[in-house]
Chains A and B, each alone.
Chain A
Amino acid sequence: MDELITVRFFGMVAEKLGKQELVLENPGNSDRLLEHLNENYPDLKEIKFSLAVNKKLCTEPSIIPIGAEVAILPPFSGG
């Protein structure tokens, strides 16, 4: 089970993908995760988002540790 990671989707990403969460085998780093997501969910390409690993925002490509929780965070503008 340690080889799995959880990816949580927020806002319009969750809406577009029709799911809040995804469990998948750990691709090892954020670049490979993005590649995997873009391949499987082409809708993602149209949306701007940030990525966090274990509740820390990534400002550059990052290692994804085993069992990590990754979040895909699009901006919100409503008020």
Chain B
Amino acid sequence: MNRFERQLILPGFGTEGQEKLRNSSVAVIGAGGLGSPILLYLAAAGVGKITVVDGDEVSLSNLNRQVIFGEMDLGKKKAEAVVDYFRSKYSDIEWTVISDFISTENAKEILSPHHLIIDGSDNFPTRYLVNDACVLLKKPLVFGAIYQHEGQVSVFNLNRNSCQYRDLFPDMPSAAEIPNCSETGVLGVLPGIIGNLMALEAIKVLSRLGEVLDNRVLYFNSLTSETYDLQISPSFKARAAAPADWDSLQAINYELACEGIETLDWDDAFRRAGHGTMLVDVRELEEEPPLVCSALTKIPMSVLPQQLEKLEDAESIFFFCQTGIRSQKAALLIKSHFPDKATYSIKGGISALKTNSRSNG
């Protein structure tokens, strides 16, 4: 008897399927709401080698959906906490911890060794980067994403005739096209369901079981319990939008950007701050963590259009928010009202200042 007994006796899976899982190596990008169920079920099923990629730390607001973590994990690096948890559970999996966010610099090195990549990240830049890297590496990619009560799942790059993410959306949305990037609410069950569908697709790809969601995108709405099964096909537009080689990939700025808005990092912002400068937090008042800073003005994005007079005296204005998207919109708005003022958006928002404050994952 071994721990896989009940899948070894499963018709269509059996010892062959198990052997394929055992000899597989998988990279999971993001150990958050989607990553938790993905990792739980891949590990339970006996995938031989699992790499966990997440530069984030566990915070209290993660716990309603990131079910691998508990109160004792607060402040720990997620990738490390995941592997600690599983090492005490199973002895037969080879784990690799990467406590870093995937980037144009490290993507090739991180993704190359694996048979399959699973994207459980929480932002467009990462999703486009992982897609583009998988296209270049010709690696199958299990994709899943959520928005409030809805989720979607697909498998990209399964073979030469398969779609990639850019077949669905050729270009990354700009910051201006994301109407509300403040942390949206979510019931933990939804990423649980979508993450489980992703784990299922991963196991099907690795063990060649059943029909995978190749050239299909499955949508699930948790309020209506309805599904929507979309057919997609490879398009010239997608191929043209994706980088053709690693040099082109590295030249892409995957950050969400509004045209015409200058961004700077916190170091630059502090260096340039002086007389006539205003540092403005455009997050809503309840958003955490607060920035403790004597020269700070708080004008939430929701009331900024009505409170423009507060900015009248400033010569230059540095906006920041949680991740650097709303602050670009704020800068755009101010530029249209006060074209003479120097307006900047701080890159990465408060999350870039203090990495353990990120809780959207």
The listed residue (B122, B228, B232) touching A77 by CB distance below 8 A is B122
A76 engages B35 (CB within 8 Å): no
- Given known contacts A46-B177, A57-B231, A12 and B168 CB-to-CB distance under 8 angstroms: no
B124 at the interface (CB under 8 A from A): yes
B177 engages A77 (CB within 8 Å): no
- Given known contacts A76-B145, A77-B145, A52 and B151 CB-to-CB distance under 8 angstroms: no
B176 engages A79 (CB within 8 Å): no
- Given known contacts A47-B179, A79-B30, A57 and B230 CB-to-CB distance under 8 angstroms: yes
- Given known contacts A76-B147, A77-B145, A79-B33, A55 and B229 CB-to-CB distance under 8 angstroms: yes
A43: which B residues are within 8 A, CB to CB? 179
A71 engages B147 (CB within 8 Å): no
Question: Per-residue CB proximity of A8-35 to B under 8 Å, as 1/0?
Answer: 1011100110001000000000000000
A50 engages B168 (CB within 8 Å): yes
B231: which A residues are within 8 A, CB to CB? 55-57
Assembled-state Cα–Cα distance A77/B256 (Å): 12
A6 CB to closest chain B CB (Å) equals: 12
Interface size class of A (residues with CB under 8 A): 20 to 34
Assembled-state Cα–Cα distance A10/B148 (Å): 11
Assembled-state Cα–Cα distance A55/B186 (Å): 26
A67 at the interface (CB under 8 A from B): no
Question: Per-residue CB proximity of B158-196 to A under 8 Å, as 1/0?
Answer: 000000000111010100110110001010000100000
B233 engages A57 (CB within 8 Å): yes
A-B contact count (CB 8 A): 86
B61: which A residues are within 8 A, CB to CB? none
B184: which A residues are within 8 A, CB to CB? 78
The listed residue (B33, B173, B230, B235) touching A55 by CB distance below 8 A is B230
B127 at the interface (CB under 8 A from A): yes
Assembled-state Cα–Cα distance A46/B177 (Å): 5
A68 at the interface (CB under 8 A from B): no
- Main secondary structure on A side of the interface with B: mixed
A77 engages B124 (CB within 8 Å): yes
B23 at the interface (CB under 8 A from A): no
Interface size class of B (residues with CB under 8 A): 35 or more
In the complex, which residue of chain A has the Cβ closest to the Cβ of B38?
Answer: A79
The listed residue (B32, B124, B191, B237) touching A59 by CB distance below 8 A is B237
B150 engages A10 (CB within 8 Å): yes
In the complex, which residue of chain A has the Cβ closest to the Cβ of B191?
Answer: A79
- Given known contacts A10-B150, A11-B150, A55-B229, A79 and B361 CB-to-CB distance under 8 angstroms: yes
Assembled-state Cα–Cα distance A11/B148 (Å): 8
A71: which B residues are within 8 A, CB to CB? 228, 230
Assembled-state Cα–Cα distance A43/B248 (Å): 34
- Given known contacts A12-B147, A12-B179, A50-B168, A79 and B124 CB-to-CB distance under 8 angstroms: no
Interface residues of B in 10-55 (CB under 8 A from A): 30, 32-35
Question: Per-residue CB proximity of B59-99 to A under 8 Å, as 1/0?
Answer: 00000000000000000000000000000000000000000
B147 engages A73 (CB within 8 Å): no
A47: which B residues are within 8 A, CB to CB? 177, 179
- Of A46, A55, A74, A77, which is in contact with the most chain B CB atoms at under 10 Å from its CB? A77
The listed residue (B145, B150, B230, B237) touching A52 by CB distance below 8 A is B230
Assembled-state Cα–Cα distance A52/B219 (Å): 13
B129: which A residues are within 8 A, CB to CB? none
B233 engages A79 (CB within 8 Å): no
B106 at the interface (CB under 8 A from A): no
In the complex, which residue of chain A has the Cβ closest to the Cβ of B235?
Answer: A59
13 residue pairs A–B, Cβ–Cβ below 8 Å? A11-B147, A11-B148, A16-B179, A20-B224, A47-B179, A48-B171, A48-B177, A52-B230, A59-B233, A71-B230, A78-B146, A79-B30, A79-B35
4 shortest A-B CB distances, which residue pairs?
Answer: A76-B145, A79-B122, A76-B147, A78-B146
Known: A59-B167, A59-B233, A77-B122. 14 other contacts (CB 8 A): A46-B177, A48-B173, A56-B230, A74-B147, A75-B169, A76-B147, A76-B150, A76-B151, A78-B148, A78-B186, A79-B32, A79-B120, A79-B122, A79-B144
